[in-house]
Amino acid sequence: MSRRANGEGSIFRRQDGRWAASLYVVTTKGRRKRTTLYGRTRAEVREKMTALQRDMDRGVRMPEDNWTVEGYLRHWLESVVRPNRAPKTHQGYELIVRLHIVPTLGRKRLRALGVADVRDLLARLEEDGMGTRGVQQVHAVLRNALQSAMRDEVVVRNVAKLVQVKTPRYDVGRGLGVEEARTLLRHTRSDRLHALYVLAVYLGLRRGELLGLRWSNVDLDEAFLVVAHTLQRVEGELRFQPPKTRTSRRTVPLPGPCVEALRAHKALQAAERLAAGPRWCEEDMVFATTIGTPIEPDNLSRSWYKVRTVLGEPPPRFHDLRHTCVSLLLAEGAPPHVVQQIVGHSAIDVTMTIYAHASLDEKRKVLDRLGEALG
């Protein structure tokens, strides 16, 4: 039997009964390095060695950094996610990594992470009661991190991409009908945030966009406003952030009721400024506290909980005012691409698929018209 050439690798049995294969590989830094593979049988080790040699022949190089899953995820969060994504996104990713990925996979070597490990993690989360949407989010974070690890040449493949997850059902909240919207606006007429609810219904602005609106971004004479900031609480402090997506930064015309409501609100705010005296903080906020400071998002939610009681059950969410705007605009025959630009959706399929709902009466009218057309 001919001897193996130098570097081709060798298979042997260890004293503990396990099988191992030892061979030289080329690392991502161009160095030759001896590595060892392990398995329960000779055939398993030979298969691993053959696969690795095949990768080497294709030009794949062995990562030189031997990260643990936890170590690389912490590195990814700080060096990739934090500088390139919104603070709220970093906060959400960090929470998922800390609570759901690290406890199960954190001590495992990143290079040794396999499809079965990812599948077992997701199955365990389902068994613990996590919903489909939550499981999908955990999978997405791990998949994004491993994709970054591939770009860093830390792993040779993204095993999370090979694991399929269930697609969650996106339940869109309860949008208001025309009469409900009228009831809401009549009911809030005496509320100091009446103008905020008017803009939410007419323009579909997000909560953070409303609370981040400044008077310098509003032109009542020319009747338009610019969505330039969003107000969010991140890591314990209120921050003004860029809008959610590129298309979220937008200029929106103001219909007459919005201009009227904002003029009345500006007059009310002037009276509050006089009443506050030296305690007033001039921060140019359209919607502010009684001393001019930005409104805490949770405080707006608490205000909404009181206001929405006029709308009956089930109680709508504040975000449902955005759904209301889109649904009513589409029902009025507004072109979908115009609605998309008004509310700042990232893609038109979001406008049509998630938000465009037809009521039973609307469906009946359409079918009745078809019946009349067919005689």
Q: Domain range holding 45? A: 10-57
Give the pLDDT confidence of 305-322 residue by residue, as tens digits.
Answer: 988 888 888 888 988 888
104 and 208 together in one domain: no
Rounded to whole angstroms, how far apart are CA atoms 89 and 87? 5
Comparing 233 with 264, the larger pLDDT belongs to 264
Look at the block and give the residue holding tokens 């791990």. Answer: 142
Q: How far is CA 358 from the centre of its chain?
A: 26
Contacts of 235 (CB under 8 A, 6+ apart): 87, 91
Give the pLDDT confidence of 141-158 residue by residue, as tens digits.
Answer: 999 999 999 888 788 889
CATH code at 104? 1.10.150.130
For residues 132 and 166, the answer to whether their CB atoms sit within 8 Å is: yes
Please report how many Cα atoms fall inside a 13 Å half-sphere around the Cα of residue 65, on the Cβ side. 13
Q: Is 343 part of a structural domain of the chain?
A: yes
Comparing 361 with 37, the larger pLDDT belongs to 37
Q: Is 2 part of a structural domain of the chain?
A: no
Q: What pLDDT, on the 0 to 100 scale, is given for residue 1?
A: 41
Q: Is 375 part of a structural domain of the chain?
A: no
Q: Is 169 part of a structural domain of the chain?
A: no
25 and 102 together in one domain: no
The closest alpha carbon to 185, from 214, 225, 177, belongs to 177
- Secondary structure of residue 284 in the 3-state scheme: coil
DSSP H or E stretch at residue 44: helix 42-57
Report how many domains make up the chain. 3
Q: What length is written for the chain?
A: 375
Examine the pLDDT at 197 and tell me if it is beyond 90: yes
pTM: 0.64
Provide the 8-state DSSP code for 20. Answer: E
Q: Is 293 part of a structural domain of the chain?
A: yes
Q: Is 3 part of a structural domain of the chain?
A: no
Average pLDDT value over all residues in the chain: 84
Confidence category of residue 344, pLDDT binned at 50, 70, 90: confident
Q: Which of 162, 194, 226 is the last residue of a domain?
A: 162
50 and 135 together in one domain: no
For residues 260 and 170, the answer to whether their CB atoms sit within 8 Å is: no
Q: What pLDDT, on the 0 to 100 scale, is given for residue 169?
A: 65
Contacts of 124 (CB under 8 A, 6+ apart): 104
Rounded to whole angstroms, how far apart are CA atoms 138 and 311? 36
344 and 200 together in one domain: yes
Which amino acid is residue 65, in one-letter code? Answer: D
Q: Which of 110, 130, 162 is the last residue of a domain?
A: 162
The closest alpha carbon to 113, from 102, 125, 124, belongs to 102
